[in-house]
Amino acid sequence: MNIENIEAFVYINHYGSFNKAADVLFLSQPTVTARIQSLERELDCKLFDRFGKQIHLTDKGKQFLPYAQQILQTYQKGKHQLHSKRIVPNELRIGCTVSVSNYLMPYLLTQLSERFADIKFKITTATTDELAGKLSSGELDLAFVRKLMNPAFQSYSFFEDPIRLYVYKEHPLATAGRASIRDIRHEKLIFFECGSLDWLRIHRVFESLEQPPGIVYQVDNSETAKKLVLRRAGICFLPGLCVQQEVEAGLLVPVDITETAGIALQTNLITLTGEHTEFAEALLEWGGRPSD
């Protein structure tokens, strides 16, 4: 029995879609379909039923699922055992998103260097999807990404960065420190768009207003957004980590907006299941905002 066919079966069930499973496995949809058809021939039964665009496990598929998951997990553990006998690598390849690269990695790398003095570190900055692909293909050892679900990865919750409204120190809202979404509907807004669901939640809050705030600048880089606020070009919702120094210096002021309370960017640390646990555990000890 082909392990790749079992892998496709487990992933399709996990994601509820042939297309999504194909994307995660970096395969074409016809290839994933062919793998399921091959597995069904080997098992002499149908594993999935289609209802329009939705798919569901058949009764036979439900019976086979726990065995398929166990086979895949056993294979991955066996693979890890073979790799664990290798000499400790002299280079650790770490992937991270832009925000982690800019604001957390300088702190984390110095901590890692103190504990693992004989190891060199290579940093790759990319999007979450790109990092997941590089980890799957063996180009990275571990990665810091936005919250991600993938059965091939061991995922650890690493850092939660609250998103708040920030204004320059002379702005009228700076004194109040708190406002409602209606209070900013006439403000010039800089919108930092990083493509995550957390930012979409802020957009949905705007949709509740008859007159939404005027977005005069839409940018995809937190540094650009922050510098526009410092130049008094507008106000902006930003993750706290990227403005920590400016807030401490009194140049930017956070304003709590009732309707957006609790919205935060989630950063997870991911590795291939069972691999590089020593490094992951060390990083988790220092997870969160640097203290110095």
Does 178 lie in the same domain as 259?
Answer: yes
CATH code at 39? 1.10.10.10
Residue 201 lies in a domain: yes
194 and 237 housed in the same domain? yes
| pTM beyond cutoff 0.85 | no
Q: Consecutive 10-residue runs of the chain (292 residues): their mean pLDDT?
A: 89 89 87 93 92 88 91 77 58 92 91 89 92 89 85 86 92 91 87 67 74 81 93 93 93 92 87 84 72 38
- Domain shared by 220 and 244, yes or no: yes
For residue 260, the one-letter residue type is T
Structure tokens at 17: 């879609």
177 with 234, same domain? yes
* One domain, residues 171 and 255: yes
Which tokens hold the place of 47? 């594993």
Whether 292 is in a domain gets the answer no
User: How far is residue 20's CA from residue 12's CA, in Å, rounded to a whole number?
Assistant: 8
Look at residue 292 in the predicted model and tell me its pLDDT.
38
Task: Give the start-end residues of each E strand in the chain.
Answer: 48-51, 54-57, 91-96, 120-125, 142-146, 153-168, 178-179, 188-192, 214-219, 235-239, 252-257, 264-272
pLDDT of residue 26: 82
Per-residue confidence (pLDDT) for residue 73, from 0 to 100: 81
Confidence (pLDDT) at 57: 94
Does 272 share its domain with 148?
yes
Residue 227 and residue 106 share a domain = no
Q: Which amino acid is at 67?
A: Y
Reference 240, options 227, 258, 253; nearest CA is 253
- Paired strand residues for 54: 51
pLDDT at residue 84, rounded to an integer: 54
Neighbours of 150 (CB within 10 A): 19
Residue labelled with tokens 């930012």: 199
Residue 247: CA count within 13 A, CB half-sphere: 16
Task: Output phi, psi for 159, to 5 deg.
Answer: -155, 135
Say yes or no: 204 and 280 in one domain.
no
**Structural domain contains residue 181:** yes
Q: Give 194's DSSP letter.
A: -
What lies within 8 Å, CB to CB, of 220 at 6+ separation is: 192, 193, 194, 195
State residue 291's pLDDT score: 38
CATH code: domain of residue 152: 3.40.190.10
Same domain, residue pair 166 and 259: yes
At 195 the pLDDT is: 56
Q: Is there a contact between 280 and 269 (Cβ–Cβ < 8 Å)?
A: yes
Domain of 13? 3-84
Are 271 and 250 in the same domain?
A: no
Rounded to an integer, what distance in angstroms lies between the CA atom of residue 1 and that of residue 125? 38
Q: In total, how many domains does the chain have? A: 3
One domain for residues 16 and 60 = yes
